[in-house]
Amino acid sequence: MKIRQATLDDLESLARVFADYRTMAGLEYNLEDGSAFLNERLTKKDSVIFIAIIDDAIVGFTLLFPFFTPAGIKEIWLLNDIYIADEFRHQGVAQSLLSEAVFFSRKTNKSKVYLATKIDNVNSQALFEKFGFKRTDYVNYEFITENHHT
């Protein structure tokens, strides 16, 4: 297994895995929109995407976005999201991607890697805690500002 930062050369293969990820998240399989999103991230360099490769195929990824903690006066990485193809789960792929994210955070002098997961995603929670992530005392909220007019 190889972990490395994605480039525009990976876009086609990464977009297919990204479309699978979105399907797993309950969204419609949409290769075109996912490809456009990833292309924008890679072109603007406003995030860092690490990919896991086994036998020359991308089998997982994680996205890191720069973020700030004003109270702590620090820069951090927001890990949003991590995905491993079903047939490659429980083989250390997620741990390898998390290791790369933490290493990258240290290398870029950020104070932490922050992530959130669904309340019922106990498998991921167990993985994150085993890896060394600490559960926080914060409750997450969102306010949807996007309109869906048809």
Per-residue pLDDT tens over the stretch 98-146: 999 999 999 999 999 999 998 999 999 999 999 999 999 988 888 999 8
Per-residue pLDDT tens over the stretch 33-81: 999 999 999 999 999 999 999 999 999 999 999 999 888 889 999 999 9
Per-residue pLDDT tens over the stretch 71-109: 888 999 999 999 999 999 999 999 999 999 999 999 999
Q: Architecture of domain 2-131 in CATH?
A: 3-Layer(aba) Sandwich (3.40)
Can you give the pTM of this predicted structure? Answer: 0.91
**C-alpha 32 chain-centroid distance:** 19
Listed by start position, the domains of the chain span 2-131
- Cα–Cα distance, 133 to 45 (Å, whole number): 26
Per-residue pLDDT tens over the stretch 4-22: 999 999 999 999 999 999 9
- Cα–Cα distance, 56 to 33 (Å, whole number): 24
Q: Check: CB of residue 48 under 8 Å from CB of residue 5.
A: yes
Mean pLDDT for the chain overall: 94
